[in-house]
A = this chain, B = another copy of it.
Amino acid sequence: MSNKRFNRGQATLASIHGHVGEGVMRTLQDVAPDFARMIVEFAYGDVYARGVLSPKERQIATLSSLVTLGHAPTELKAHIQGALNVGCTRQEVVEVIMHMAVYAGFPAALNGLLVAKGLFEELDGPRP
């Protein structure tokens, strides 16, 4: 049954982050393998997989929380990519981050937008 949670978590994780998610899990393998398992089983297998909200709505919630926290730019970048993967447009991502200025303040929103800008530029590759 734990296996079931892990498998469901891995499928959800892959549907949001593609192969990138595996990298994070590998990074944790030598220092805290059980934590990697908890991320898959609990965060993705128990929470993200619950339905009720659409994948897009869950990413909006995630982005909002990460921008508000302010201290997790790497996770924010991964979840902006995840938001694009599940169907958010870039404009919607930018809009969610801008919305945070009202609640978490302008610096949190500004830094979130710079993370988005950085990812968008990576995705677009070098200009010709």
* Interface range, A side: 35 or more
- Cα distance A36–B117 in the bound complex, in angstroms: 13
Provide the residues of chain B in CB contact with A100, threshold 8 Å: 61, 65
> A102 to B47, Cβ gap below 8 A?
yes
Contact with B along A26-70 (1 / 0, CB 8 A): 011011101100110011001100101100011011111111111
Contact with B along A1-24 (1 / 0, CB 8 A): 110010000000000000000001
List chain A positions with a Cβ less than 8 A from chain B: 1-2, 5, 24, 27-28, 30-32, 34-35, 38-39, 42-43, 46-47, 50, 52-53, 57-58, 60-72, 74-75, 91-92, 94-111, 113-114, 116-117, 120
